[in-house]
Amino acid sequence: MLRNAWYAVTRSAVLQEAPLTVRALGEQFVLWRSPQGTVQAMADQCPHRGAQLSRGWLTAGCLTCPYHGWQFNTAGKCVHIPANQAEATIPKRAQIKTYATTERYGLVWLYWGDLPAAQGIPIPPLPEWGAPGWRAIYGESEWPAHFTRVTEGNMDSSHAPFVHSAFFGLRDGAQVPPYTVETTPWSVSAITISKPPKRAGILKLILKRDRPVTTAHLTGYLPGVNRIDVDFKFKGYRFIYFGVHTPVDEATTRTQWIGLRNFLTAPWADGHSRRNVVKTFEEDCAVIASVRPAIVPFQGGTEVLVGSDALQVAYRKLLRQYAQQGWWWSDRYPSPRQPTLV
């Protein structure tokens, strides 16, 4: 897992006033909203005698432990111990570890790392979110797989005819034309050209039969965010999938995804659009969970990679670059220290 990065942990709409427990990054967090509406994130364990704080409640803007009623302010500092005599002081160590949070694109993001957030990996841009003419839907799914495998699978152009044959069509048209990978300090991307997807689901309503090609602008952002921008080459219609893959732990990943479309933007089409994404996830999930090694190899020689894997190679290179500067954290997989190229 990569430190010094933002991770989407839940949806803004899900997080109301009541404390919410979230498992992510191998840790248990409690999230809650202050009376001012800002999101607080803390370790979900009371420093007194270890109760789970998310079982508690808010008292005048302070999180109250359900066990002995200690109260903690938004800085995680204990401000009241009900059992204490009036003159007793509150121990300095009565302090909970807190995490920076922000809300963007309708998601709650938590910053996980030791460097200041300004020096870490930024939240990827999503300019279409909230822009006029775009409709957003949300979903969440869980994968029994490492987030690196999910991320590289979500920007893979050569698997579609096999894993998603119902949607993307014939396996005898599986060639991937050469593409150019563009790399930034936080992302890798490429534009791939393919035959248009089958006119399945709501695409029946918007696609004409004679479309020669569709392009997909595939991007992977560190640590594990995908953007798939599909341009149907018809009336400017596009579908953007934005998936944030947050490790629950080193064997499980939870994805918060947003589907944005600029066609059939009325709510009645949401269900169709959601079903397409969920179906695709289910098809991916079975294969991706089976992949070994469970985490992408940082060293070359483990797998046999070909031209159509260029985007995966570039993602691993980028990941390794940050891992080598000490941002990788794992208690299951060895840290990739040797700069061997895949």
Q: Provide the binding-site residues for ligand FES, judged by CB under 6 A.
A: 46, 48-51, 65, 67-68, 70
Reference 297, options 271, 278, 275, 323; nearest CA is: 323
Contact set with Fe ion (CB under 5 A): 284
Q: Identify what 328 binds: Fe ion, ligand FES, none; CB under 5 to 8 Å per kind.
A: none
| Cα–Cα distance measured from residue 160 to residue 130, given in angstroms and rounded to the nearest whole number | 29
Q: Identify what 208 binds: ligand FES, Fe ion, none; CB under 5 to 8 Å per kind.
A: none
Sole residue written with tokens 């920007």: 155
Q: Identify what 51 binds: ligand FES, Fe ion, none; CB under 5 to 8 Å per kind.
A: ligand FES
Asked whether the beta carbons of 156 and 302 are under 8 A apart, the reply is no
Reference 244, options 45, 9, 82; nearest CA is: 9
Nearest-approach distance from CB 98 to ligand FES, in angstroms = 16
Nearest-approach distance from CB 156 to Fe ion, in angstroms = 7
| Cα–Cα distance measured from residue 55 to residue 129, given in angstroms and rounded to the nearest whole number | 34
| Cα–Cα distance measured from residue 272 to residue 13, given in angstroms and rounded to the nearest whole number | 22
| Cα–Cα distance measured from residue 34 to residue 16, given in angstroms and rounded to the nearest whole number | 10
Nearest-approach distance from CB 56 to ligand FES, in angstroms = 8
Nearest-approach distance from CB 275 to Fe ion, in angstroms = 15
Q: In sequence order, which residues have a C-beta less than 8 Å from that of residue 218 and are 6 or more positions away?
A: 155, 157, 189, 190, 191, 192, 226, 227, 228, 229, 311
For Fe ion, the closer CB: 159 or 211: 159
For ligand FES, the closer CB: 62 or 222: 62
For ligand FES, the closer CB: 68 or 332: 68
For Fe ion, the closer CB: 152 or 284: 284
Nearest-approach distance from CB 64 to ligand FES, in angstroms = 8
